Amino acid sequence: MRFLTDRLQAMPVWRWLAAGAAALWIAGSPAMAGDEPDLIFRRSTVFKFLTPNDKLATYGIDDPEVEGVACHFTVPEKGGVTGWLGLADQVSDISLACRQIGPIRFKSKFGQGDDIFRQRRSLFFKKMQIVRGCDTKRNVLVYMVYSDRLIEGSPKNSTSSVPIMPWGASDTIQKCGDFVSG
């Protein structure tokens, strides 16, 4: 026991900090604005011999504040040992498509550029975000996906728009501008 105590006391501070940060990362769930996304399918893109392959994964989410809108996004997922252990720094190539899937109903007011979904893309500093806005002039919901990093972000992004249209004969069209706060 004395040997273990001496080893722990001799451990540099940076290792304690790294171990603490890793424990917090493992204990905490990814930062989310909405529910967990639904995995639709995955396709392998790069073969790895004894470890998981690199893949493209397509997910679906519902807008948590706007009923009747769903978004699908495709993200690359690194394989190999670092991907398998969850330590890989995932690339920022993310595509996005959002569509009206039913009558659009706004649950509450929202701000321009509010997050509807966030997900970590690396161990510490990178995250993917899907944000929503309203083009009040055209009555169109606009969604954008991008990744950012604490030090430097990525200019890679994708945008999708959802015109608010009637859904069925008796559907009344809501104006997204009536639900934008600020």
- Per-10-residue mean pLDDT of the chain, 182 residues long, equals 50 47 38 71 80 84 96 84 59 87 95 90 73 96 85 77 89 89 80
| Residues contacting 171, CB < 8 A, separation 6+ | 103
**Residue 106 identity (one-letter amino acid):** F
Structural domain of residue 173, as residue ranges?
A: 30-179
pLDDT of residue 137: 96
pLDDT of residue 25: 38
Tell me the C-alpha distance between 176 and 4, whole Å.
Answer: 62
Residue 174 lies in a domain: yes
CB 156 within 8 A of CB 146: yes
Residue 51 lies in a domain: yes
Tokens standing for residue 30: 């990814």
CB 131 within 8 A of CB 111: no
What percentage of the chain's residues is helix, strand, coil (to nearest 5)? Answer: 20, 45, 40
Which string of DSSP letters, residue by residue, matches 16-66?
Answer: HHHHHHHHHHHHSPPP-SSSPPEEEEEEEEE--SSSPPEEEEEEEEE-SSE
Q: How many structural domains comprise the chain?
A: 1
pLDDT of residue 138: 96
Residue 4 lies in a domain: no
Task: Write down the pTM of the prediction.
Answer: 0.72
Residue 11 lies in a domain: no
Residue 127 lies in a domain: yes
